Structure 1
Amino acid sequence: MATLSQIVLIAAVITAGLIAGLFYAYTCSVMPGLGRADARTYVTGMREINIAILNGWFALSFGGAPLLAAAAAALHFKAELRPALPWLIAGFALLLVMLIVTMAINVPLNNALEAGFDGDSTDFEALRAKFEGVWERWNLVRTLAAIGGFGALVGGLIAHVRA
């Protein structure tokens, strides 16, 4: 029978994998695809994506991954489970970086994009120029942090199994 520490750790690995995969998809396909579009399509597309992403599935992985990683780490302070602890702390720290970058940089940029939209009178070129490069650079940072967090949690799961 699975223990609470195993269940929480597996849930942390799954949610971290989901959010890392989502940000990876943005980096590899969504943003390059939008980058090929004209400014009006780029801005409109990002606005629609920003609306669509606010859903329970996203919230579960985005918020759940760092919370579950922290809970998994807390459950691994027992001596027999301690070999997994450094991995879990690293995973939590990297997922926290992902969360902070998103909330401190990407979300405010999304909000600025929305605030700058004024229907047909929008200067789409200027709005895109303020948004695109900065948003994509920080998206790469959070993508790498999420992938690293996922990898560290997988390392923690392996250490847990071997403990």
Structure 2
Amino acid sequence: MAGLYFAFDVGVMPGLEGSDDRTFVTVMQDVNRAIENGLFGLVFVGAFLATGVAATLHHRIGHHRIARLVWAALGCYSGMLLVTTRVNIPLNTRLARAGPASTTARPEDLRDLRERFERPWRNANTARTVLCSIAFGLLCRALVLHGRAR
């Protein structure tokens, strides 16, 4: 998930920055529709569940230091879920409800839609990138310790 959010931070959103409002809204609507699929959902929820299971199992077998790292990673991932559900999803929903950009006749409407979407969405996405990157780092450290514990 960190990689996906990072790609948006450094590639997708900067790439769209110079586009006109109609193109920006159309692309973001298309991306949001495309990403709502079973495979993405499986990875999105699966990462959370797998991390929780790993933390629980390490705790149960007495690897408390590893378990703490994995619980901390789960906390970061939970923070990402909170940002996603409180900021990104509502913004995506608002963008979708505006209808296809091609049918929005007034350029002012597109500009307003973009202005209310772009900055908050990018800020929230950066927060998701940071949280998932920290979680990934914690899980890497836990994996190293797990290898040493064997």
Fold shared by both chains (TM-score > 0.5): yes
Q: Secondary structure at the match of 1:117?
A: coil
CA distance in 1 between counterparts of 2:12 and 2:57 reads 37
Amino acid at match of 1:51: R
**Is 1:138–2:124 an aligned residue pair?**
yes
CA distance in 1 between counterparts of 2:137 and 2:36 reads 26
Per the alignment, residue 105 of structure 2 pairs with: 121
> What per-residue deviation string (whole Å, max 9, x for no partner) do you get for residues 15-60 of structure 1?
xxxx111111011101111111100000000000000001122112
Per the alignment, residue 80 of structure 2 pairs with: 98
CA distance in 1 between counterparts of 2:12 and 2:39 reads 18
**Is 1:151–2:137 an aligned residue pair?**
yes
Matched pairs, number: 145
Return 5+ residue gaps in structure 2 as ranges. none
Q: How does 1:1-163 map to 2 (within 5 A)?
A: 19-117=1-99, 119-121=103-105, 123-163=109-149
Runs of 4+ in 1 over 3 A off after TM superposition: none
CA distance in 1 between counterparts of 2:97 and 2:34 reads 17
Return 5+ residue gaps in structure 1 as ranges. 1-18
Percent identity over paired residues:
39
Amino acid at match of 1:139: N
RMSD (Å), alpha carbons? 1.3
Compute the displacement of 1:82 (Å): 2.2
TM-score for both structures, normalised by structure 1: 0.84
Compute the displacement of 1:116 (Å): 2.3
CA distance in 2 between counterparts of 1:102 and 1:134 reads 12
Q: Are the aligned partners of 2:104 and 2:110 in contact in 1 as well (CA < 8 Å)? A: no
Q: Secondary structure at the match of 1:121?
A: coil
TM-score for both structures, normalised by structure 2: 0.91
